[in-house]
Chain A
Amino acid sequence: MKNATPLIWRNSADRYNLLGSHCATCGTDYFPERVVCPKCRRKGKIEPKQMPPEGKIYSFTQVHAAPTGFEHETPYYIAIIELANGVKVLTQLVDSPDEKIKIGATARMCFRRVFEEGDEGIIAYGFKFKVV
């Protein structure tokens, strides 16, 4: 990935803190953040909102052939977490023994390195989840 700095910078708030959006008109939460509420369209009132840091595993898989930059972390788990407010988040699962990784298991947000631009570039930090 060449010069990802602008992208890392732009996304740091939502990636650090699961910062998404809330529509004040219909009460729906969204992650990642949205500019327009797809339900309310022009009537929607979108505001920033921090997502709950805990949820349950909705689905998961183990990655053996990783994309560039993640080769040394294989095998690792990625999962869709259904947060307490119903919002689904795609994330890496860390620090979780195989036997604990099950659909419905409770997982909590943690703070990790996500990727880095080689040895000299920017390090992107953000949320991952661990089974508790």
Chain B
Amino acid sequence: MVGIVGYGAYVPRMRVKVAEIARVWGKDGGRIGEGLGINEKAVASFDEDSCTFAVEASRTAVKCAGINPQEIGALFVGSESKPYAVKPTATMVAEALGATPNLTAADLEFACKAGTAGVQACMGMVSSGMIKYGLAVGSDTAQGRPNDALEYSAGGGGAALLIGKEKTIAEIDATYSFTTDTPDFWRRQHAEFPRHAGRFTAEPAYFKHVLSAAKGLFERTGTEPKDYDYAVFHQPNGKFPLRAAKTLGFEEKKIKQGLITPFIGNTYSAAAMIGLSSVLDVAKPGQKILVVSYGSGAGSDAFKLTVTNEIEKTGRRPCVPVLKAIEDKTYIDYSAYIKHRRKIKSL
């Protein structure tokens, strides 16, 4: 059965604290951090972008899979912060992996869920026998306009899932998507920062889609929350996924392992996939995992996974687990942050 053969996550080293951003704008950092459930966010360095994150995460995924990169038949990079408006990130990642030239590649965009859309495309191509392995990447260096609510949460990171049929560490038993036309968050061509419909978007946007996708998957698979050992939800902040879990009837302990946003901010296309990576770091054979992504605009992809015995074999997990990797960090102040994120106009 089709499933995950290898996975990798990458989070940049620098952190800026929510309290430091609040200090600059004369706001109450403690209250904002508490409200968002975020303490600090990961910041891409001057020489990093969604492409470099994608390469780092993909190299880890391919290494853990132990495959020849020439066997990758499709590569999709999901991002809303592409280094080029026109020129695929996917080709650069493919070249850096040594996967060129016998493959198809494309960049996908669906706000925060383009990475999981890539997983579904790979599942279809692998299942049909069109390709042997497909690599789906979610990667973003999210930007928030200075003094906008998003500035406190928009972090950066990447994650990659190698999809195939042989030696899977987790089988993907089912997937279901829920999609509507919802204008909750957008960025027009040539606009530097995204705009959003404000805090009133929670119910008709995030919760409606995440909960509908999860329930749709439960119905189609005849499962319920108690059948799952872990659940990972898209995490634009530290609070929404907790509320989604509670509404569905998941105990908090089932989502703790995959809730990374409080420590690194919202990593957009990478968020649910980094959360899943953290769960795969510890999950035992036979355990079941629910993953629900969310992308503004809007839609959610839900997946039911079952961990296999392969996961316990040497080298199938990355050397450093996600929760350990993110401890290796350096704090910067707001001025270093805007320098590295190129928000100073003359730079």
Interface residues of chain A, those whose CB is within 8 Å of chain B, are 12-13, 16-17, 50, 72-73, 94-95, 97, 110-114, 123, 125, 128
Contact = CB atoms under 8 A, between A and B. Distances in A.
A25 B46 CA distance: 43
B339 A72 contact: yes
5 contacts: A97-B330, A113-B49, A114-B47, A123-B49, A125-B55
Contacts of B143: none
Contacts of A95: 13, 45
A112 B48 contact: yes
Which 7 pairs between the two chains have the least Cβ-Cβ distance? Answer: A111-B55, A113-B47, A112-B47, A16-B96, A95-B13, A111-B52, A112-B52
B166 interface: no
B10 to A, nearest CB: 9
Contact of A111 (B46, B83, B96, B347): B96
A70 B8 CA distance: 30
Interface residues of B, number: 20
Contacts of A73: 46-47
Interface string B36-55: 00000000011111011001
Contacts of A97: 330
A13 B97 CA distance: 10
Contacts of B301: none
B96 A94 contact: no
Contacts of A13: 95
Contacts of B52: 110-113, 125
A16 B48 CA distance: 14
Contact of A17 (B47, B51, B96): B96
B83 A123 contact: yes
Interface in B227-248: none
Given A13-B95, A17-B96, A125-B52, 13 more contacts: A72-B339, A72-B347, A73-B46, A95-B45, A97-B330, A111-B59, A112-B47, A113-B48, A123-B83, A123-B84, A125-B51, A125-B96, A128-B47
A43 to B, nearest CB: 30
Interface of B: 13, 45-49, 51-52, 55-56, 59, 83-84, 92, 95-96, 98, 330, 339, 347
Contacts of B339: 72
Contacts, number: 44
Contacts of A12: 95
A52 B257 CA distance: 34
Nearest to B339: A72
Contact of B46 (A16, A72, A125): A72
Nearest to A113: B47
Nearest to B83: A123
A50 B96 CA distance: 12
Contacts of A111: 52, 55-56, 59, 96
B45 A94 contact: yes
Nearest to A71: B347
A33 to B, nearest CB: 15
Contacts of B96: 16-17, 111, 125
A115 to B, nearest CB: 9
Contacts of A50: 98
Contact of B95 (A16, A72, A113, A128): A16
A121 to B, nearest CB: 11
A40 to B, nearest CB: 27
A94 B56 CA distance: 14
Nearest to A97: B330
B81 to A, nearest CB: 13
A94 B47 contact: yes
B164 to A, nearest CB: 23
B83 to A, nearest CB: 6
A94 B47 CA distance: 9
Contacts of B83: 123
B327 to A, nearest CB: 14
Contacts of B45: 94-95
A132 to B, nearest CB: 10
Contacts of A72: 46, 339, 347
A73 B45 CA distance: 10
Contacts of B330: 97
